[in-house]
Amino acid sequence: MTQSSKPFMPDLDWTQVRETSKLLTLSAGQVEDLLATSDVSVNTLTESFTFIVEHMRTIYDHLQDFDDTPARDELLRYCTETSDLIQESIVAFQFYDRMQQCLQHVTANLKGLSSLVESPDRLYNPFEWNKFQMEIRSRYTMESEKIMFDAILDGKSIEEALAIKAALEAQKSDDDDDVELF
């Protein structure tokens, strides 16, 4: 049985490309594992919020049957406020969906890059790199991802790309208060 070459004890088969590919694959695996683990927690929270909203509706409906008193009115107000806060929390979960989609793209990109780097025929072929880059861009559904991608490929630093993205999002927010759909 042949042992795999290690960077601290390389054999003739050791290459930086293979080691790079391994690290890219590791990163993709870590992101996938994190996404799977976090899905369980988010699903639990979503189910809990749904349960709480249903119970708040039931309490509110039962309170409607009581005589009109200051205590009843206060409880109805609390029910309404609580339901509103829960609805706001559910909307905030859209961030998680957005983050999950972005991390899925990162994972696919890392795997694709690993595959490209492992293949000598593709590694040194500019057309393969361009094809891969266009595959990455085509997977993006959020405008902010495309902006970041384009800025980085145009040679901008991460800080510059983030500033461009933030400026466009601020402009978009001024134009309309809609949530970015993805």
pTM for the whole structure: 0.68
Question: What whole-number distance in Å separates Cα of residue 128 and Cα of residue 139?
Answer: 17
Question: What whole-number distance in Å separates Cα of residue 75 and Cα of residue 93?
Answer: 27
Structure tokens at 34: 């994190």
Residue type, 146: K
Confidence (pLDDT) at 91: 82
Question: What whole-number distance in Å separates Cα of residue 78 and Cα of residue 81?
Answer: 5
The per-residue pLDDT string of the chain (182 residues; one tens digit each, 9 = 90 and over) reads 445 656 666 665 677 888 888 888 888 888 998 888 888 888 888 888 889 989 999 999 999 999 999 999 999 999 999 989 988 888 887 788 888 888 989 999 999 999 999 888 998 899 999 999 999 999 988 888 899 999 999 999 999 999 998 888 888 877 765 544 44
Confidence (pLDDT) at 3: 54
Residue with tokens 């042949």: 2
Confidence (pLDDT) at 93: 79
Neighbours of 18 (CB within 10 A): 15
